[in-house]
Amino acid sequence: MDNSTDRILTLIFIVCSLLLQVSCSSEQESAGRSVEHPIDELIPYIDVEQIVIDRDFSFELIDEPSKILVLLHYYLNDRSKIELEPLTLKIGDISNLKVEKLSNGRLLILDTSRDTLFEYDIADHSYEIVADFGRGPGELQHSMDLTVAGDTVFVARRDMRLSRFICSASCKYDRTAVLDVQPLSIITTNSGLAVSTGLLFGLEDLYSDSGIEFSAINIFDVDSEQILYSFGEVYNSNYIQVLERFARTGMVAFLPGNNNYIWASSWFPYIYLYDENFEIDKVYKLDHHIQNKFTFFPTEQRLSFPGMDRTLINTIKPIGEEKLLLVTDTRTKDQQLEVDTNYSIDYYLIDHLNRESFHIGSDQFTSNDQKLVYITDDELILNKNGDLFRIVNLNNIEIF
């Protein structure tokens, strides 16, 4: 048998092996026994070339970083150059806060744990409640996310609604839009409101009967309350419970410089960038990532979570018009010693035009001492166990 025949047989063996693996993964997903998710073959765009995000490229390599990034870097690495200015507002735990800045210089702070929207005046440290928990006009329930477009503010709600407020002089309730899908993460774009949606668990027929095709991102016209565009693949599961688990962790961002849409699920180590034609453009992958998993029991329609160590994507946030801030949350615990859970919050900058990423720094804490920094265009707000602080340049030292 000659070498060419050997190569052909070897190639046939490899192809058959790959087909068997794909077949097994499909059978595994549809079998009537327990299945561990995520399955690599079902993750969106798994075959697209990936740009690795690691810690080898440090902050010092960023070309002309913005002042807000420099301030964040000093908070994470040299706090002698910054100070913490207390805010007079007490909030819930760190995972339930959304912060944006208005054109009039005030902060908008959404506490999703209490369904309360605050307008905070940095100058005199006073605040007003824009919207509180309730069922009436202008009140909030199941609030999830916040976005600002000039003087217009949108609050996404898990009950398939968007609350709109006009914040010219002070914020006033305007109207509530009722959607066909569940908005979980929102951001304003040049084409409309980009929304990452979740499934309504228990209402599977809503999707099959209405003809709604579930996508990673939907572009809405808020006035007509209609979907203009839908695009982006999601985890390709046959089971609504599994799809719902990943769908509700989706988050969306938008970079106006080149009309790039970004989608990520907190579960996966991937950040997906779409171009202005809604086609996949780039896929980034976190190198230092601990994949969280769960077990699904198809017969019982039940999920089980082992509570293992994991990394989650916490935030994707536009920085200027062309860069993206990425915040990850890694949890580790010594199960034998049963000590407090340890957390590492890592902050990265993605420069998608140059296909580069940079590690700005890390923050360490335990479950008893939680903290997270929220970034707007020119403000850093620290939430430390529910106490809010503004991170400022100490005595205006020239650190930029």
- List all residues 6 or more positions away from 389 whose beta carbon is below 8 Å from its beta carbon: 84, 85, 86, 87, 381, 382
Cα(378)–Cα(43) distance, integer angstroms: 35
On whether residue 5 sits in a domain, the answer given is: no
φ/ψ (deg, to 5) at 258: -125, 20
Cα(158)–Cα(109) distance, integer angstroms: 18
Instruction: Quote the Cα angle for 377-389-91, to 5°.
Output: 100
Overall domain count for the chain:
1
- Which tokens in the block code for residue 211? 């003809």
Instruction: Quote the Cα angle for 357-362-368, to 5°.
Output: 145
- List all residues 6 or more positions away from 340 whose beta carbon is below 8 Å from its beta carbon: 333, 366, 367, 368
User: Which sign, positive or negative, has the C-alpha torsion 73, 76, 81, 87?
Assistant: positive
On whether residue 375 sits in a domain, the answer given is: yes
Nearest to 190 by CA among 144, 282, 258: 258
- List all residues 6 or more positions away from 214 whose beta carbon is below 8 Å from its beta carbon: 197, 199, 207, 234, 243, 247
Q: What is the pLDDT of residues 298-349, one digit of tens each?
A: 888 889 988 789 999 999 999 988 999 999 999 988 655 556 688 999 999 9
On whether residue 33 sits in a domain, the answer given is: no
- Preceding peptide of 86 cis, ω within 30°: no
φ/ψ (deg, to 5) at 19: -60, -40
On whether residue 37 sits in a domain, the answer given is: no
What SS3 string covers the chain?
A: CCHHHHHHHHHHHHHHHHHHHHHHHHHHHHCCCCEEECCHHHCCCCCCCEEEECCCCEHHHCCCCCHHHHHHHHHHHCHHHEEEEEEEEECCCHHHEEEEECCCCCEEEEECCCCEEEEEECCCCEEEEEECECCCCCCECCEEEEEEECCEEEEEECCCEEEEEEECCCEEEEEEEECCCEEEEEEECCCCEEEEEECCCCCHHHHHHHCCCCCCEEEEECCCCEEEEEECCCCCCCCHHHHHHHHCCEEEEEECCCCEEEEEECCCCEEEEECCCCCEEEEEEECCCCCCCEEEECCCCEEECCCCCEEEEEEEEEECCCEEEEEEEEEECCCCCCCCCEEEEEEEEEECCCCEEEEEEEEEEECCCCEEEEECCCCEEEEECCEEEEEEEHHHCCCC
- List all residues 6 or more positions away from 5 whose beta carbon is below 8 Å from its beta carbon: none
C-alpha 190, offset from chain centre: 20
Distances (CA, A) of 9 to 4, 5, 16, 19, 253: 9, 6, 11, 15, 48
- Domain range spanning residue 385? 52-396
Residue whose token pair is 């991170």: 391
Cα(260)–Cα(321) distance, integer angstroms: 10
Question: What CATH number did the domain enclosing 253 receive?
Answer: 2.120.10.30
Q: What is the pLDDT of residues 127-144, one digit of tens each?
A: 999 999 999 999 999 999
On whether residue 199 sits in a domain, the answer given is: yes
On whether residue 32 sits in a domain, the answer given is: no
Cα(331)–Cα(291) distance, integer angstroms: 11
- Which tokens in the block code for residue 23? 């077949």
Tens of each residue's pLDDT in the chain, 400 residues: 444 444 444 433 433 333 333 334 444 455 558 899 999 999 999 999 999 998 888 888 888 899 999 999 999 999 999 999 999 998 877 778 999 999 888 999 999 999 999 999 999 999 999 999 999 999 999 999 999 998 999 999 999 999 999 998 889 999 999 988 889 999 999 888 999 988 765 555 544 444 445 799 999 998 888 889 999 999 988 888 888 888 889 999 999 999 999 999 999 999 999 999 999 999 999 998 999 999 999 888 889 988 789 999 999 999 988 999 999 999 988 655 556 688 999 999 999 888 899 999 999 988 888 899 999 988 999 999 999 999 998 777 666 5
User: Which sign, positive or negative, has the C-alpha torsion 369, 375, 376, 381?
Assistant: positive
Cα(311)–Cα(294) distance, integer angstroms: 14
Q: What pTM value is reported for the model?
A: 0.87
On whether residue 44 sits in a domain, the answer given is: no
- List all residues 6 or more positions away from 54 whose beta carbon is below 8 Å from its beta carbon: 287, 288, 357, 359
On whether residue 10 sits in a domain, the answer given is: no
